[in-house]
Structure formats: C-alpha cells, structure tokens
C-alpha cells in the first residue's frame, strides 16, 4: 500500500515546492506517496489510478511493465494524476537525486494540468469518479456475469477513439429548441395570394391551409436527416440511438467519460512532457542540485531525453521547443523584421535583449495544444538544429531510410501524426441508411487509406452495438467504396463520391 513520505523526503518536497513557486508555477495541492516498484507497476497498469473497473487488460499491462523493469529495459520514474488535489507517486528505491528530479517534474505537470485550456473541462475529481466507475461495473459483473461484461468492454474499448475530442470546447450542433422555432417561423403556410382581404376565406379555406401544412410537414420529415449533420462523437450517437441494454448503455457511458478525460493528455503530450522536463531541468540545475549529485542527475536526465531511431521523444522535442521559444523571445527573433531578414550573419547575431522569453512560454502554456504548438513555433532553424527528417521504407533497397529533410514536409508529417492522435476521422452521417435502419459512417480521407483489417473489425464491433448492418464510406485509389458488415459477412461496393 502507498505510504506517506518519510521526514527527509517531506523536507525535500517542501524545498522543491518553494523553488517551483519561486519560478512562478501555479498548481493544485500536490500529494506525494511512496510505493514499491511492484506497486508502481500496478498503478501504472491502471493508467495512474489506484482503482479501475475489472478487466483482463490491466493484468496484461502489469506483466509487460513488470518484465520491462525486471529485465532492465524500462523504469517508471513518476506518475501524476490530473486531479484536484494532484496525486503523484515516488518509487521508494530511487536515490535522493531522482526523488528531487521527479518532484520538480511533477510540479511542472500539475501547473500544466491546472492552466492549459485543454484541461479546463476535465473532471478534477477523477480519482473518486474512477472508483465509482469500478463499483458500477462490478455490480453489472455480479448481475450479468464476468464473461459477458468483459466481452462487451473488449468491443467498446476498440471504439473508444470514436469521440469528438474538441466537443468540450465548441458546439457543433445548434440548440434544438431554437432551431425548431426558427424552422417553424420559416414554414408559415399562407395559401394563394389574394388582392382583397374579404376574399381570403373563400380562396384559402381553413381545410385547404391545413392540408398544405400537413404536406409541408410530411416533406420536412422525409427530408430530415438522421442525424441532421455529421456527428463526430460516434459513441454518443450509439448511446442515444442504439438499442442497448441498460447495462450496456451504462458501461458504454463509463468508457466514453474516461476517453474524454484522457483525450487532453493525448492532445498535449509533447507540450506537457516538455513543460515538465523544462522545469525539472531549470529547478535542478539552478537551485536543487548539490555538487555530488550532478553526474547522477546528468545521467538520468540524458536517459530520459534520449531519442531512438524512427521515433519522436516527446520529452526531448518538447523541452527543446520550449527553450527555443524562450530564447527567440528573449532575443527578439520574431515578427516582421525578423522574418524579412535574409542575411544569415545578421540572423545569427540577432539579439534585441527583450527578455520576454519567460513571459512568452507561460502564455503559450495556457493557450496552445500540440498541433497549434508545432504549427506556430516550429521553425526551419529549429528543424535543422534538431536534425528532423521524414523517413520511410525503400522497397528497392529493402531498408528504412531518410526520404526528405525539407522543412514543410517535416512539419506536415509531424502535424499529420498529431491530428486526431494520428487516427482516421470517422463521422456518423446516416442512422437510417437507404431507409433500412442501417448505420452509415464516413471517413474523412486525408491522404491515408483505412487499414482493411482495422476497418473490418471496427465494423464488426459497431454492428454488435447497433444490431443492424453497419457501413462506412471511404476512398481507395481515389475511388469511393462502401465497406459493409451485416452481422454475418463483410462486403464492399464502389460508389460515386
């Protein structure tokens, strides 16, 4: 069981807390708890929470983490929960320098959780909510049976990315009552035009006007789409319209709530990890480190920042981009004058001594997510300095190699991988496709085709919830294709786009 901090670590916590406040970080109350490496793996397998609903995947993830630690392949340094108060875990076997590093890193995360706009709508009592979710699922397990519930959770987890990750911040659909009132106002039936008012009752008798109103209403119902406009939140549509059993609807609602809770962390992975790394580096090197701790700190910090071939390290990319922003705004390397300067020597020596870097990074921390962060602040100079490139597989040479170093292609590749977490954008476009109560989804094609095996399994799992055939409209080789699963077999047919 997690334990409270011993006096020495409690003193270090207070020290690091003071440094974080001194640098201007603003965070919720943060509680640190001590755990063994085995307890750390268990909590990490649960996604950082002490209690989750019963499911076999937690055990699978625990085994993977435990083996990675035992074989020296991986080590979890910190876990922190977006909650108010925040909860963080320290591994009791870590040396003191690591504990200080982790505390500083955690305070950076907590500041980001509290102030970044992406987390504004998240549940700040999620520890309690997760416990409630676990209790509800266990009740259904007792009532329905473990195999039936686990099978449903398996199918639903494969669909948990079919949400509208921007829904907490925008309203895609108009207010239903207001839209209905406006529609009625535009549907006034006045009959034939009359020149003399006393003739109106003869030319447009009430029976005729009633029949005209009924005709307009019938046409409106036939023309009305279901849903009225494409809906990104597929899980919400299923909750509202699919013929689910009460226990299925409850579990689907639970998994959807949790998907929305974790979505902002996926939207800000580079910013969040970079911000926390920036602050643990700043606090440790400027305040907290002792002379005899420098080598150990440098070794562990460099291990976290290490980048392996073929992958982006969010810690490394994030911290370097934060430092670059701070330096650019300190030296005035932004704006029209900077952009129009084509003298390489002048650009290298450019320093207006503005000193606005620290203020700027706090502003960016508040208003950006990974996509806008990369899109706004990634520069050709930064990409060149960090040796960023696009890679791919060369069929002729049968090997992976660098395909391009052009800045625009590098930036577009990064943004493509971040948009919707690099997953296809799927929308519900018709809940009564071809007037047969079939579900029609549409794939927003962005140059990447759907993977056939993934698409078929997704259709299979959606059909098990919709109870009727499910279709998805996509594109292969610039030709429209509808993939369909009817509960028994898969089929496809070409359509005009």
Asked, for residue 229, whether it belongs to a domain, the answer is no
pLDDT at position 188 over 70: no
Asked, for residue 255, whether it belongs to a domain, the answer is no
pLDDT at position 136 is 97
- Closest Cα to residue 356, out of 381, 382, 325, 386? 325
CB atoms within 10 A of CB 1: 8
Q: Which of 391, 418, 445 is the last residue of a domain?
A: 418
CB atoms within 10 A of CB 366: 11
Q: How many domains does the chain have?
A: 3
How confident is residue 310, by pLDDT bands cut at 50, 70 and 90? low
- Closest Cα to residue 33, out of 18, 47, 49, 20? 49
pLDDT at position 312 is 86
What percent of the chain is predicted at pLDDT more than 70?
A: 91
pLDDT at position 119 is 97
Same domain, 296 and 364: no
pLDDT at position 394 is 81
| 172-176, 304-308, 415-419: range with highest mean pLDDT | 415-419
CB atoms within 10 A of CB 129: 17
Q: How far is CA 190 from the centre of its chain?
A: 51
Same domain, 15 and 120: yes
Asked, for residue 141, whether it belongs to a domain, the answer is no
Asked, for residue 399, whether it belongs to a domain, the answer is yes
* Cα(49)–Cα(63) distance, integer angstroms: 17
The single residue listed with the structure tokens 């009564």 is 432
pLDDT at position 41 is 93
pLDDT at position 186 over 50: no
Q: Which of 363, 385, 418 is the last residue of a domain?
A: 418
Q: On the CB side of 411, how many CA atoms lie within 13 Å of its CA?
A: 17
Contact 118, 268 (CB under 8 A): yes
How confident is residue 218, by pLDDT bands cut at 50, 70 and 90? low
- Mind listing the pLDDT tens digit for each residue in 244-299? 999 999 999 999 999 999 999 999 999 999 999 999 999 999 999 999 999 999 99
Same domain, 400 and 482: no
The single residue listed with the structure tokens 């005009």 is 496
Contact 162, 255 (CB under 8 A): no
Q: List the helix and strand counts (H, then E) for the chain.
A: 21, 10
- Mind listing the pLDDT tens digit for each residue in 219-248? 665 556 788 889 999 999 999 999 999 999
Same domain, 430 and 485: yes
Contacts of 219 (CB under 8 A, 6+ apart): none
- Closest Cα to residue 316, out of 285, 288, 280, 278? 278
- The H-assigned helical ranges of 268-402 are 269-283, 294-305, 314-331, 336-340, 344-349, 357-367, 370-377, 380-385
Q: Which residue has the higher pLDDT, 89 or 196?
A: 89
- The angle, 0 to 180 degrees and rounded to 10, between the axes of the packed helices 294-305 and 96-115 is 50
Same domain, 115 and 36: yes
The mean pLDDT value for 24-34 works out to: 96
Q: Which residue has the higher pLDDT, 359 or 68?
A: 359
How confident is residue 447, by pLDDT bands cut at 50, 70 and 90? confident
Same domain, 31 and 92: yes
pLDDT at position 11 is 96
Q: Compute φ and ψ for 116, nearest 5 degrees.
A: -75, 140
* Cα(142)–Cα(145) distance, integer angstroms: 6
Contact 318, 277 (CB under 8 A): yes
Q: How far is CA 222 from the centre of its chain?
A: 37
Asked, for residue 191, whether it belongs to a domain, the answer is no
Mean pLDDT of the chain: 90
pLDDT at position 144 over 90: yes
Same domain, 271 and 343: no
Q: Compute φ and ψ for 274, nearest 5 degrees.
A: -65, -40
pLDDT at position 187 is 52
Q: Which of 392, 418, 444 is the last residue of a domain?
A: 418
How confident is residue 77, by pLDDT bands cut at 50, 70 and 90? confident
pLDDT at position 206 is 73
Asked, for residue 147, whether it belongs to a domain, the answer is no
Asked, for residue 386, whether it belongs to a domain, the answer is yes
Same domain, 34 and 92: yes
Asked, for residue 184, whether it belongs to a domain, the answer is no
pLDDT at position 202 over 70: no
Same domain, 297 and 317: no
Taken in order 278, 283, 286, 288, the sign of the CA dihedral is negative
Same domain, 413 and 329: yes
And the tokens for 162? 């079919």
- pTM to 2 decimal places: 0.88
The mean pLDDT value for 387-411 works out to: 85
pLDDT at position 441 over 50: yes
CB atoms within 10 A of CB 484: 18
pLDDT at position 323 is 98
Same domain, 46 and 60: yes
How confident is residue 465, by pLDDT bands cut at 50, 70 and 90? very high
The mean pLDDT value for 117-126 works out to: 95
Cα 461 to Cα 151, 426, 445, distances in angstroms: 11, 15, 22
pLDDT at position 58 over 90: yes
The mean pLDDT value for 148-157 works out to: 96
- In degrees, rounded to 5, the angle at the alpha carbon of residue 366 between the alpha carbons of residues 361 and 367 is 100
Same domain, 30 and 73: yes
Domain housing 361? 309-418
pLDDT at position 185 over 80: no
């Amino acid at each position: 069981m997690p334990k409270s901090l011993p006096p020495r670590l409690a003193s270090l916590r207070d020290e690091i807390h003071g440094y974080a406040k001194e640098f201007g970080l603003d965070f919720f109350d943060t509680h640190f708890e001590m755990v063994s490496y085995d307890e750390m793996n268990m909590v990490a397998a649960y996604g950082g929470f002490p209690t989750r609903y019963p499911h076999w995947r937690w055990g699978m993830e625990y085994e993977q983490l435990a083996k990675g630690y035992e074989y020296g392949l991986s080590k979890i340094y910190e876990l922190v929960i977006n909650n108010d108060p925040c909860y963080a875990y320290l591994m009791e076997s870590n040396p003191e320098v690591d504990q200080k590093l982790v505390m500083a890193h955690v305070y950076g995360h907590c500041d980001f959780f509290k102030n970044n706009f992406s987390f504004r709508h998240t549940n700040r009592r999620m520890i309690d909510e997760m416990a409630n979710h676990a209790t509800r699922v266990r009740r259904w397990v007792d009532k329905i049976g473990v195999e039936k519930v686990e099978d449903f959770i398996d199918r639903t987890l494969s669909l948990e990315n079919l949400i509208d990750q921007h829904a907490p911040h925008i309203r895609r659909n108009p207010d239903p009552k207001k839209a209905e009132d406006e529609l009625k106002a535009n549907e006034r039936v006045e009959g034939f035009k009359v020149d003399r008012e006393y003739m109106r009752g003869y030319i447009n008798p009430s029976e005729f006007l009633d029949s005209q109103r009924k005709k307009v209403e019938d046409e409106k119902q036939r023309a009305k789409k279901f849903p009225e406009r494409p809906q990104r939140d597929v899980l919400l549509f299923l909750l509202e319209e699919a013929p689910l059993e009460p226990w299925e609807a409850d579990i689907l609602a639970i998994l959807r709530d949790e998907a929305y809770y974790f979505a902002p962390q996926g939207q800000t992975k580079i910013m969040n990890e970079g911000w926390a790394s920036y602050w643990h580096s700043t606090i440790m090197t400027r305040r907290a480190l002792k002379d005899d701790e420098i080598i150990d700190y440098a070794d562990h910090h460099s291990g976290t920042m290490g980048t392996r071939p073929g992958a982006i390290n969010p810690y490394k990319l994030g911290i370097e981009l934060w430092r670059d922003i701070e330096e650019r705004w300190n030296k005035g390397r932004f704006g029209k004058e900077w952009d129009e300067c084509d003298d390489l020597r002048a650009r290298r020596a450019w320093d207006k001594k503005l000193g606005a870097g620290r203020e700027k990074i706090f502003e960016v921390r508040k208003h950006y997510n990974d996509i806008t962060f990369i899109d706004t602040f990634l520069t050709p100079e930064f990409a060149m300095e960090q040796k960023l490139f696009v890679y791919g597989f060369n069929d002729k040479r049968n090997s992976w190699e660098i395909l391009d170093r052009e800045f625009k292609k590098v930036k577009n590749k990064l943004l493509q991988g971040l948009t919707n977490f690099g997953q296809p954008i799927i929308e519900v476009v018709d809940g009564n496709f071809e007037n047969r109560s079939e579900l029609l989804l549409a794939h927003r094609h962005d140059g990447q085709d759907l993977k056939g095996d993934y698409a078929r399994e997704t259709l299979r799992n959606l059909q098990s919830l919709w109870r009727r055939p499910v279709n998805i409209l996509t594109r292969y080789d610039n030709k429209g294709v509808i993939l369909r699963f009817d509960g028994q077999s898969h089929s496809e047919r070409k359509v005009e786009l």
